[in-house]
Amino acid sequence: MLFDSIDRYVTSFERHYVIVHDEDLDVFKPFHRGRRVVLPVSEFLPRWLHRIPHMRWRGRQYWWSLRAKPVSGWHTQQLVKIRAAASLPEDRYFLIDSDNVFFRDFDVSTVANPNALPVHIYRGGVTNGHPFHVDWVEATHRLLGLEKPVFPTDDYIDQIIVWDKPTVNAMIARIEAVSGRAWDETLCRIRNFSEYTIYGIFTTREMATQRPFKITTDSFSLTEWETTLLNKADIVAILESAAHEVALCVQSYNPTPLSTIREGLAEFYARHEQTPQRLETA
């Protein structure tokens, strides 16, 4: 659904990169055309990191190395995002969770250079009641050589994030300068990290005089974080609640079937006299 919705609603972008596990390349090969570029995960992971075959725990694959404890696919997808944004040729990237589907027109040029980079923040979103987020913030401060954080503090995690390539490379350089090791090895050693938290804190704390950015509390995406099963009416209600948002994200751990999400989108389009033909296939 994400591919179809990008083709229908998103304009003014140069390329849509789709990074998939190597064993899934053949599945995604038919989508590798035009501005859509399908690439293997192995292109963005360090060579010293090796997937453990035939092993899954809690639904996740794992990788091993002689440099750090085993890391999960949750960790490696973060490494991939950082490496891709640092090495691919464009200057700015939208990092889009695959659970998203666009339901409104969105012109990417509105956040392209020379426009200020939007940095999304949930003000005071990290509290002691969110232990994982607290750990990620504390780890980020250690990685960047910053003082111990005070809570509550801002949260930078969202489902559609804009990254700036020079800022990503400066972030990598800072991690390596503080740790004395390659950035990817450093992250694998600490394991408890969030790429969006690292990037957000580094940008707002260190890049104000070097790369223009603007703080925003407006998200690009309406996100359903709960595990409650949704029906068509629920999906429509979420879509109708949109103010500035252009995409819907129902988290993958939510049990709502894709068919229900499609039905809700179709009902929303019918109410607003839009044609949903491109969203009827996965």
Amino acid, res. 19: I
pLDDT at 240: 96
Residue (of 227, 238, 226) closest to 267 by Cα position: 238
Residue at token pair 């504390």? 138
pLDDT, tens digit (0-9, with 9 covering 90-100), for 131-161: 999 999 999 999 999 999 999 999 999 999 9
Bond from prior residue into 212 cis (ω within 30 degrees of 0): no
Give the CA distances from residue 45 to residues 16, 148, 227, 257, in Å, rounded to whole numbers and listed in that order.
20, 30, 32, 32
Query: CA–CA separation, 191 vs 68, rounded Å?
Result: 9
Query: CA–CA separation, 274 vs 228, rounded Å?
Result: 28
pLDDT, tens digit (0-9, with 9 covering 90-100), for 21-59: 999 999 999 999 999 999 999 999 999 999 998 777 766
Query: CA–CA separation, 68 vs 98, rounded Å?
Result: 28
- In the chain the first and final C-alpha atoms are separated, in Å, by 5
pLDDT at 71: 94
Q: What is the mean pLDDT of the chain?
A: 93
Structure tokens at 55: 């092993």
Beta bridge partners of 31: none
More confident: 279 or 31? 31
Q: Phi then psi for 191, rounded to 5 degrees? A: 65, -35
